[in-house]
């Protein structure tokens, strides 16, 4: 059995989109997932990439993904990585692929002088939490994550237009 972790490349978009949809279903949010292959292609391979990724293959089959983007720490003065999605297809779980993908991202940080690797996890995903604890990840319990989207985002944006 051969396992390979590599950077995503053009042509991976169908598998990436499929795994993102599988992740959305796992997170009970399939109705919120609207990603298209074209959007992925632009984000990953356009003139100004906003998304980066790695894919794990087992015997040539797409088994897992890590999709991420760069952040910037104003306190450290250097970039970091924010892991947006880490997903291992059910039949490939318990092989260490998620841990290897995290290690690959840690290597990206170290090799590029980035100061941190960050992510969020749903509070009910005990298997993921156990993995993150095992690699030395620590919950940032002093921070509360906020998001504004949909109608609220549009309403807030309208405030920038002035009275």
* Residue 35 belongs to domain with CATH number: 3.40.630.30
Q: What is the pLDDT of residue 2?
A: 96
Number of folded domains in the chain?
1
Q: What is the pLDDT of residue 161?
A: 87
Q: Which two tokens stand for residue 37?
A: 């292959």
Q: What is the pLDDT of residue 1?
A: 84
Q: What is the pLDDT of residue 163?
A: 67
Q: What is the DSSP string of 28-57?
A: T-GGG----HHHHHHHHHSSS---EEEEEE
Which ranges of 27-138 would DSSP assign to H, the alpha helix?
A: 37-45, 97-112, 126-134
Taking 70 as the pLDDT cut, the residues of the chain under it are 163
* Domain range enclosing 78: 3-161
Question: Are 17 and 23 within 8 A, CB to CB?
Answer: no
pTM over 0.75: yes
**Residue among 110, 105, 103 nearest 84 (CA):** 105
């Amino acid at each position: 059995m051969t396992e390979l972790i590599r950077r995503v490349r053009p042509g991976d978009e169908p598998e990436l989109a499929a795994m993102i949809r599988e992740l959305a279903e796992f997170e009970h949010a399939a109705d919120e997932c609207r990603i298209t292959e074209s959007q992925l292609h632009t984000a990953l391979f356009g003139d100004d990439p906003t998304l980066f990724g790695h894919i794990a293959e087992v015997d040539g089959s797409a088994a897992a993904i890590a999709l991420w983007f760069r952040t910037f720490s104003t306190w450290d003065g250097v970039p970091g990585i924010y892991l947006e999605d880490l997903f291992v297809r059910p039949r490939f779980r318990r092989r260490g692929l998620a841990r290897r993908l995290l290690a690959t991202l840690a290597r990206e940080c170290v090799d590029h002088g980035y100061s941190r690797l960050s992510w969020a996890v749903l509070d009910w995903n005990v298997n993921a939490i156990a993995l993150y604890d095992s690699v030395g990840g620590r919950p940032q319990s002093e921070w509360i994550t906020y998001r504004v989207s949909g109608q609220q985002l549009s309403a807030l944006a309208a405030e920038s237009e002035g009275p």
